[in-house]
Amino acid sequence: MNLCIGFLELNSIAKGVEAADRILKTAETRLLFAKAGCPGKYYILFSGEVAAVTSSLEAGKEIGGAHVVDSVVIPSVHPMVISAINQAVEPVPVNALGVMEFFSVTASVWAADAAVKAAEVDLMDVRLGTGIGGKSFVILSGDVAAVHEAVEAGIRTASENGLLVSQVVIPNPKAEVFNSLL
């Protein structure tokens, strides 16, 4: 089954809680998580059928109003994205390491999905702005060419909104650098 997700990022915790409630009341959706992050942002990740997720996200954005930072609907999200968000990924040997950094948490979710669909890479982490000033980053690994291709696809998708901070591909990273990310 293809999993459709919606992600809503707000800069108000109170409006975020209200938006999460509206999202779940609008259509048949399942809350994957709703939580506060830095600096005073609120993140809502939910799933369901495409039409339900789309209408629920619109309702959440309406409640959020001027407090909406970013949002996305991904109709057929890659399963690795959810695992990486939940930090439930087993480390694998690394030929190259790719890192994509964004001002928006939503941009990381979107970029991670595009990256793993573009090339044969392992998604290691999608870090959602907690303790890093509301920024976010994606870490992936694989063969050098695949990591380059995945990072390019991820930043092309997410940078459309101007939320890209930086990206890097490191061939043969030192073990200490790789281990510091786990």
Of all residues in the chain, what percent carry a pLDDT higher than 70? 91
User: pTM higher than 0.85, yes or no?
Assistant: no
Q: Which amino acid is at 157?
A: T
* Contact between residue 138 and residue 123 where contact means Cβ atoms under 8 Å apart: yes
pLDDT at residue 90 is higher than 70: no
* Contact between residue 37 and residue 105 where contact means Cβ atoms under 8 Å apart: yes
When computed from its CA atoms, the radius of gyration of the chain, rounded to whole angstroms, is 16
pLDDT of 93-146, one tens digit each?
678 999 999 888 888 988 999 999 999 999 988 888 766 777 889 999 999 999
Listed range (63-72, 148-157, 169-178) with the worst mean pLDDT: 169-178
Calculate the alpha carbon distances from 14 to 7, 21, 39, 43 in Å. Answer: 17, 11, 14, 12
pLDDT of residue 167: 94
The pair phi, psi for residue 65, each rounded to 5°, is 50, -125
pLDDT at residue 1 is higher than 60: no
pLDDT at residue 38 is higher than 90: no
- Give strand pairing partners of 74: 5
Q: Which fold has domain 3-77?
A: Alpha-Beta Plaits (3.30.70)
Please state, rounded to an integer, the average pLDDT across all residues of the chain: 89
pLDDT of 58-85, one tens digit each?
999 999 999 999 999 999 998 888 888 7
| Fold: same for 3-77 and 80-180 | yes
pLDDT of residue 5: 94
Q: Where are the domains of the chain?
A: 3-77, 80-180
**Residue linked to tokens 């990740």:** 45
Count Cβ atoms below 10 Å from residue 162 Cβ, excluding itself.
9
Higher pLDDT, 96 or 91: 96
Residues 6 or more apart from 162 whose CB is under 8 A from it? Answer: none
* Contact between residue 118 and residue 158 where contact means Cβ atoms under 8 Å apart: no
CA 11, CA 76: separation in Å to the nearest integer? 27
* Cα 57-35-157 angle, rounded to 5 deg: 50
State in words which class domain 80-180 has. alpha beta
Q: Please report which confidence band the pLDDT of residue 164 belongs to, taking 50, 70 and 90 as the band edges.
A: confident
